[in-house]
Structure 1
């Protein structure tokens, strides 16, 4: 059997490189983008301890910038905020405002120390009224204003996870009786 000439082997190898190179380039361009998307904060829903939550953060990590939580059958939403930029101090009560689309909700909360970020965390219970419902389904940005500093969170992608939260809030409270459907 005769072996191919070196020039023929070179052309065959070169052809394979030209066929494979675009696939490798395409794949390597797509993989980092997918990994970067997984590392970007976004809205998602989850549940734990009979609560449904709406989170702005990075799924499957401990980064949570903002969270709304609801227990079925209640008309109250717990809100948790992480604040690193306003200068609010732990132990001090602060006025906080949520704004989007011409709507706003104002409440007060006492800052809790966040040892990881050096900032303050805030927790409050808000009534689940029409204003809050509309804000959670809005578009644009949600501004969280603390001590005059506005932190903005894009509402892109919030509709579906917010609907999950609102459906849980609107559902009947579990009876807690043995054998009862939950």
Structure 2
């Protein structure tokens, strides 16, 4: 597809996504895009993501098949496929979304950045994150403990009857794997 854009004479700027290459098909790649954003004083979400939604401001800059309903859930996913599944599940459970961010490659904006944003966001009462990697696990642990100590409300649903939900609840409980990981951080 990239070769078709280049060979076809597409007149706009093209920034291929490849975190390990300076150039792809003769075009500046991800690092160059990040440099341009930093010089302009702006942050970069992604690349290689499905976008950003903020239901409070009616912003839908995403490739989602359907904009989430407004609500109090702040949701971040590193995987686009997982994001779509989580948003679909949230809709089924009646959980509305304050904001959603798909971070993709996390060239700039990270899960830690979003946790800090949601910590101060009055429209967000619950945060859910799907990460495939941690850039700074200790920082993540500090932020997560701080947010958790603030007593953010958690949605209450009769989910523990299903094995997956029971596993997720066990992982997040005091003394569970997530809690032990946060204590080490």
Higher relative helix content? 2
Tell me which structure has the larger Cα radius of gyration.
1
Greater RCO (CA < 8 Å, at least 6 residues apart): 1
Higher relative strand content? 1
